Amino acid sequence: MPQESKKGGIAAAQGDGPVCPVCSSVAGTVLGRRHEYSILRCGDCSLTYKYIPDLNRDLTQSLQDVTYRESTLIARTRSRLVRKMAADRLRILQGYMKSGRLLEVGCASVEFLALAQGAGFDVQGVDSSKMFVEFNRQNGIDVEHGRVEDFDFPPHKFDVIALFHLIEHVEDPVGFVQALGPLLQQDGLVFIATPNLGSLTSRIFGRRYPGFVQHDHLTFFVEDTLSDVLRRGGFDIVNSFSKEYSHHLFSSTLGFLGDAVRARRQLPSNTLPGDDGRPAESVAAASGMAKRTLAKAVGGLPSVLGFFLYPVLRPVGLALERTMKGHELLVIAQPSRPK
Ligand SMILES: [Zn+2]
């Protein structure tokens, strides 16, 4: 059965106009429209969010299924970049925890889980995409199909729960993290990565920020708004980071250009060159081998440019990371201790 968010925000949004999915405020400024949806900034908690009328679990899933298709899976499994990002995330985690029971929600094609398992973590993964789950089951890692709320995990089962590029896809972020707290040990950790709306590139593109285009991105976080969600959900912030990979500048620019071309031609957009190295899907969806080959070449361009220009771009990336203006926002938090 589809489960809708219990929180007022989503229910109230049905037919009643935009309501902030974090603080339920109806005060908001429209930043612009992307496709058929408005992007708003909450007047109370400052969250940037997409207003999708009648948003529920089924609609969220169908938006995700438009984005994550077989070509995404193939591109991910071939991508050195995806594996490097997984290795970086594991290194960050190991700064806090060397082993333990780890759950990854939205584990996609399990690059991170496989590395974590190899490093001694006892891993488990869930993903709401049937395609990813079927692929993973062939890889011998315990992956279940569904959303985390579908499973009856015993209390305090996990030492760490990882959510990489997941929190921006859920309808009720506070209710979601609230549900994770009881699954963790008291000194357990939640480890989150999400696109950083406070990044240099998002500031450059402003209302044309390419991250707004991806259909299944429902919320857009900066360090403060993500920390706010975690605190409301019963967590204390342990640390925040930002990461900037060399390909990010090019993937953002490509996304911006692709969006401009689509707008001019009034073509539908399915997805962008990804936050994590995904190819330009909307182009790939066009019929014909030539178009698919072109899409593949264009989709791979940010990684190629990022590789060759790494020595030039790395110092810039480090400066961005130090000032929390990297493309990706990472936060580690733990359940609040009873006062
Ligand atoms: Zn709000």
CATH number for the domain spanning 193: value is: 3.40.50.150
One domain, residues 65 and 116: yes
One domain, residues 103 and 15: no
| Residue 60 confidence class, pLDDT cut points 50, 70, 90 | confident
User: Into how many domains does the chain fold?
Assistant: 3
Looking at residue 2, its pLDDT comes to 31
Compute, in angstroms, the gap from residue 41 CA to the centroid of ligand 1. 8
Query: Exposed/middle/buried for 196, CB within 10 Å: 0-12, 13-18, 19+?
Result: buried
**Measured CA angle at 304 (ends 300, 306), to 5 deg:** 115
Compute, in angstroms, the gap from residue 18 CA to the centroid of ligand 1. 11
Looking at residue 301, its pLDDT comes to 77
Whether residue 320 is contained in a domain is answered as no
Average pLDDT over residues 259-275: 55
**Residues 191, 237, 321, 100: is their CA dihedral positive or negative?**
negative
Taking 90 as the threshold, does the pLDDT of residue 30 lie above it? yes
Distance of alpha carbon 67 from alpha carbon 10, whole angstroms:
22
Compute, in angstroms, the gap from residue 22 CA to the centroid of ligand 1. 5
Name the strand (E) or helix (H) holding 161. strand 158-164
Compute, in angstroms, the gap from residue 61 CA to the centroid of ligand 1. 23
Whether residue 308 is contained in a domain is answered as yes
What percentage of the chain has pLDDT greater than the value 70? 85
Compute, in angstroms, the gap from residue 15 CA to the centroid of ligand 1. 18
One domain, residues 175 and 104: yes
| Residue 7 confidence class, pLDDT cut points 50, 70, 90 | very low
Name the strand (E) or helix (H) holding 28. strand 28-34
Compute, in angstroms, the gap from residue 207 CA to the centroid of ligand 1. 19
**Residues 251, 257, 258, 259: is their CA dihedral positive or negative?**
positive
Average pLDDT over residues 191-206: 92
Q: Say if CB 161 and CB 183 are below 8 A apart.
A: yes
Compute, in angstroms, the gap from residue 21 CA to the centroid of ligand 1. 7
**Residues 51, 57, 58, 62: is their CA dihedral positive or negative?**
positive
One domain, residues 161 and 68: yes
One domain, residues 263 and 308: yes
Tokens of 17: 């106009």
Helices (H), the chain: 8-13, 57-67, 70-78, 80-94, 111-118, 130-137, 173-180, 200-205, 223-232, 248-265, 281-284, 289-308, 310-322
pTM attached to this predicted model: 0.82
Compute, in angstroms, the gap from residue 172 CA to the centroid of ligand 1. 12
Task: Give the single-character DSSP code of 331.
Answer: E
Compute, in angstroms, the gap from residue 174 CA to the centroid of ligand 1. 11
Whether residue 4 is contained in a domain is answered as no
| Helix/strand/coil for 325 | coil
Owner of token pair 């089962």:
157
Whether residue 134 is contained in a domain is answered as yes
Looking at residue 15, its pLDDT comes to 52
Name 130's Cβ contacts closer than 8 Å, sequence gap at least 6.
145
One domain, residues 253 and 232: no
Task: Show the domain range for 281.
Answer: 249-312
Compute, in angstroms, the gap from residue 12 CA to the centroid of ligand 1. 13
